[in-house]
Amino acid sequence: MLGGFSFNHLIYLLDGLVWTVVLSALAFLLGGIAGFFVMLCRISRFLWLRRAALVYIQIVQGTPLLIQMFILYFGLGVVNISVPPLVAAGLGMMIYSSSYLGEIWRGSVESISRTQFEAAECLGLTRWQTLRDVILPQALRIATPPTVGFLVQLVKNTSLASVVGFLELTRAAQVINNSLFQPFLVFGIAALLYFAVCYPLSVWSRSLERKLNVGRR
């Protein structure tokens, strides 16, 4: 292949891409579970829960994801807690995801008309029944496009995991470039692989937005 870049190098990059997808999936799924509880706290009737969730969100969104990974990987090592790169990267991205997904979903729930809540109360539904049977199905239509859009950003942010030694796509490209010294070629191919994953998700997000067309029908 071109410039000393061999088929084995491509396989190495593809292996890194697989771990990029795995890390993205773990962060999205675990972050989604945590984000759901963050959302519930943000819309809770209890003031202390709303404030605690807001402080959590402000801290996570107000600090760089890279710093959070450093704290989990290097900071915990100072107190003799060994954290593997995958765990540090996964936890960092899970925390990051939970704050943003929680806010996306909170905004989607609160965009539902108050009359929906009032009608459910008139029917004698509990707050949980109101959320489960009335509000969340409607909020899902609103939340789906921005949630998929966030997933695209999440895939690209996995590149930060390379700094803590996790062998995802960016780290694999760095390793290959250290031996070939051809950054334009190596990182160009890595960029194409990122594009191959992110572009279909971006198209899907726009397609969902057009199909759902929330608030315009």
What does the alpha-carbon distance between residue 206 and residue 152 come to, in Å, rounded to a whole number?
12
Q: How high is the pLDDT of residue 112?
A: 86
Low-confidence ranges of the chain (pLDDT < 70): 1-3, 212-217
Sign of dihedral through CA atoms 56, 57, 63, 68? positive
Q: How high is the pLDDT of residue 1?
A: 54
Specify if 195 maps to a domain: no
Domain count, the chain: 1
Domain that holds residue 33: 18-169
Specify if 147 maps to a domain: yes
Specify if 100 maps to a domain: yes
Specify if 148 maps to a domain: yes
Specify if 155 maps to a domain: yes
Q: How high is the pLDDT of residue 62?
A: 94
Answer yes or no: pTM beyond 0.85.
yes
The SS3 assignment for 169 reads: helix
Specify if 181 maps to a domain: no
SS3 content of the chain, % helix, strand, coil (to 5): 85, 0, 15
What does the alpha-carbon distance between residue 188 and residue 191 come to, in Å, rounded to a whole number?
5
What does the alpha-carbon distance between residue 117 and residue 126 come to, in Å, rounded to a whole number?
10
pLDDT in tens, 171-200: 999 999 998 888 999 999 999 999 999 999
Q: How high is the pLDDT of residue 121?
A: 77
Specify if 217 maps to a domain: no
C-beta atoms surrounding 22 within 10 Å: 14
CB within 8 A of 37, min separation 6: which ones?
102
Exposure b/e, 178-207, CB count within 10 A at least 16 = b: eeeeeeebbeebbeebbeebbeebeebbee
Specify if 86 maps to a domain: yes
Q: CATH number of the domain that 22 lies in?
A: 1.10.3720.10
Task: Decide if 208 contacts 145 (C-beta within 8 A).
Answer: yes
